[in-house]
Structure 1
Amino acid sequence: MQDEDLDLFLQEMAGVKRLKADALADPNGEHQPSLAQLARRQAAEQEMEYDPNYLSLEYVDLVKPDEVLAYKKDGVQEGVYRNLRLGKYQLDATLMLLGKGLVEARAALFQFVRECHQRGIRTLLVHHGMGKESKPHPAILKSYSFKWLQQIPEVLACHTAQKQHGGYAATYILLQKNSDQKRENRERHQKR
């Protein structure tokens, strides 16, 4: 049976000639990847590299330059949030994002909040500017900053700053306690 199949195969292939080259040439370059395809390939390769920064550069709800930003997670006491809103807490760290592009601002904000949380700093101030003249849309950095702050799990609340701290161009941030502060708090309350 096997010999019969081989004979049939050889009969069918009798007129077939071997190609001179293994690969087909593309003399016009029509099948070369386009610049867009090369850019997508490069972006995909870069994406495969691990980036711990999870803050999104995709769609953002635009805010107005003079809009008050207000965000509070469930569980934050009203008195604590009111004191943050009114600028009554000591500001332990400040970040200037003015003049930075979105990619640079994203990295700076992510790193700033992460380091402050690790060091036990709880109240922060971020200067993002009002962005009245920013292109293509007004307040683009302010809009993204507000979006990013809501994406960071350590951020309990944020609110537009009081006039003496930058007003509409800045935002107060309240961070949750880090693990050391939580442990100290538990120990302090257990002794009572």
Structure 2
Amino acid sequence: MAMTDEELFMASMGDVTPLAKDNQIELQKKKNSPTLSQLEKRKAAEQELEFDANYLSTEYVDLLDPHDLLSFKKSGVQHGVFKNLRLGKYQIDATLDLHGKTFREARKTLFDFITDCQQRSIRVLLIRHGIGLNSKPHPAILKSYTNKWLQEMPIVLAFHSALKCHGGSGSTYVLLTKSDEKKLENREQHAKR
């Protein structure tokens, strides 16, 4: 009669004795610490996963001439309000200078600045973007993107190139919506009448 595999195994292992506990060696896998490049890749991946609230586009923009005037108003903005903005009759509450900033820096700075101003109930801004005569590879790149970005922001009601005394076509007056706090304050004030 033929032996089964289990019986063959047991027959061949019959004279084997287990090792004493003292003689057992535990094998531990050596854990290598991550390399510098692995750490950098991890950091980049984590930053990608972070939510970026900045929705300003980085896509193609119609390039403007360096001396073009910027002008935009949303529907519902009164003609007189826009005229006063265009003529620089409102007090400028905050100024942002984008000169010398890279494209990415300008995009982030502009978004953060305008969002912060609106939260602080600051309504009239001056953005200094320059005319971009010497910008590479095309003139007026930052000015063109500033024009596009301001139109993409729902809290921007209107904007217009500034008067010469405030920078001319290299600067732009911006009018923001009221903060939620100011809107509530206005409702309460007008409800008392």
TM-score, normalised relative to structure 1:
0.76
**Runs (5+) with no aligned partner, structure 1:** 1-41
The residue identity in structure 1 corresponding to 2:59 is E
- Alpha-carbon offset, residue 101 of structure 1: 0.6
Alignment-derived partner of residue 123 in structure 2 = 122
Q: State the SS of the aligned residue for 1:145.
A: helix
The residue identity in structure 1 corresponding to 2:177 is Q
**How many residues matched?**
151
> Quick one: distance in 1 between partners of 2:76 and 2:90?
19
Alignment-derived partner of residue 166 in structure 1 = 167
Q: Percent identity?
A: 62
Q: CA RMSD in A?
A: 1.5
The residue identity in structure 2 corresponding to 1:88 is K
**Runs (5+) with no aligned partner, structure 2:** 1-42
Alignment-derived partner of residue 151 in structure 2 = 150
The 5 A counterparts of 1:61-140 are: 61-140=62-141
Q: State the SS of the aligned residue for 1:125.
A: strand
Alignment-derived partner of residue 20 in structure 2 = none
- Alpha-carbon offset, residue 49 of structure 1: 3.1
Q: State the SS of the aligned residue for 1:157.
A: strand
- Alpha-carbon offset, residue 45 of structure 1: 7.7
> Quick one: distance in 2 between partners of 1:71 and 1:44?
38
> Quick one: distance in 1 between partners of 2:44 and 2:144?
25
1:91-136 CA distance string (max 9 Å, x none): 0000000000110000000000011000000000000000011111
> Quick one: distance in 2 between partners of 1:69 and 1:56?
18
> Quick one: distance in 2 between partners of 1:182 and 1:51?
27
Alignment-derived partner of residue 61 in structure 2 = 60
The residue identity in structure 1 corresponding to 2:168 is G
> Quick one: distance in 2 between partners of 1:168 and 1:161?
6
